[in-house]
Structure 1
Amino acid sequence: MSEVLIGSVLSALSTGLGALLILFLQDSLTHKVRDNLLAFTAGVMMAASMLGLIPDSLDSGGFFPMAIGICLGVVSLTLLEKNIPHIDLDHTKTGIKFDEKAMLIIAAITLHNIPEGLSVGVSYASESEGTGNLIAFAIGFQNAPEGLLVALFLMTQKINKWKSFFIATLTGAIEIVTSLLGYYLTSFVDFLVPYGLAFAAGAMLFIIYKELIPESHGDGNERTSTYSFILGILFMIFLIELF
């Protein structure tokens, strides 16, 4: 229990860690750097899904629970996204008023953090040693640039740096709750473990392809973002082999 709590808290607070950089980098962080950070974290999450969550799901329940779990993860994210308005962080130039736009951004990021928290909790419930720490690290790595982007957006909306940092940090806090929920559900109902692991993988794959990759390719940085994506995959493979 203590391990999942620590992992979920550290993963969630990575959002605030990324947002903390707003205090130092708001004038020097280029769009190209942000795109490459997004692509790198997409690679980290891809490797964690394909080499961590999915193999563990297959080992726990076989192909069909894995396939069903992935589909449920994708469908859940699709339904949530359709029912909660979403605005891309860097490529939208509409004339929406500040209050509405800010709330949409915060709601969208919070929405995406729900399955990420579930991913961490379910991974700690897996019998495979180290999977929980691996997924918590991958999610935390993804949360850091996400928190930075949210804080940067809020800064452009004339919100002071400290308030921007605080709001961005809060968007990741929901992961602690959903992580514990995922852990308890799969711990007490064993047959849910392969479904839960695959659900987490499906949710992560949806976020990677629907959000992170398009965001990193939206402003002419496709080639360097591709390299960063591959480096992210290699980095996570290195960690898997190391630990």
Structure 2
Amino acid sequence: MVRDRRAYLRVRRAVVTIQAFTRGMFTRRIYQEFLLHHKAMVIQKTVRGWLQRTKFRRARDAAVTIQCGFRRVRAKRRVQELKIEARSAERLKKLNTGMENKIVQLQRKMDDQSKELRTQNEQLVQVNSGLGSEVNKLQKQLEQVKSRPVGGAQVSSLQEELDRLREELQEASAQRKRMEEEHGNEKMGLQQRVEELERENSLLKSEKEEMNQRILQQSKSSGGET
């Protein structure tokens, strides 16, 4: 029994030892395979990440290049539009200056015509007053001649002179009235022209201000985009 027990224990120890070495060997093999698989997974993950990053960088660079080209084209178009608007604003400014000069010239012309009319009115008033005084003088002379016994030739000459002076007085009055009407019509036409020019000038000023505001807003927006 002791001998058999010792033989059995030796065999069992040998079997346990063999099993332990075998299990350790298989376990080490499994660990090595798992380690290799894990390393392969790490390598694959790193390579895939690098490939994705490279692809993303290429796509980003291409997108940035396309955006830069599109923004450059849009900026060039915007610059052309701003140049056109600036030329339009300069043209409106010149038109505005021309309108103001025309208004000033028309106002000066109205003032000159008013001065000329006043001068002519004063001259006509002086002429009328002179003719009126001569008519009154001739009227008195005619009355004196009629009251005295004189020749009919002198009376007729005085009457003719009086009629002539009256006709001249009437003609001067008609000329004065005609000149006043002509000056009034011309002054009304000039005033209407001045009002039209002022309206056009105000419209040009409003268009100029709107264009300046639009250019300023667009320049701000373009500056914010850049």
Q: Specify if TM > 0.5.
A: no
Q: Which has the larger radius of gyration?
A: 2
- Higher percent of residues as helix: 2
Query: Higher relative contact order at CA 8 Å, sep ≥6: structure 1 or structure 2?
Result: 1
TM-score (norm 1): 0.23
TM-score (norm 2): 0.25
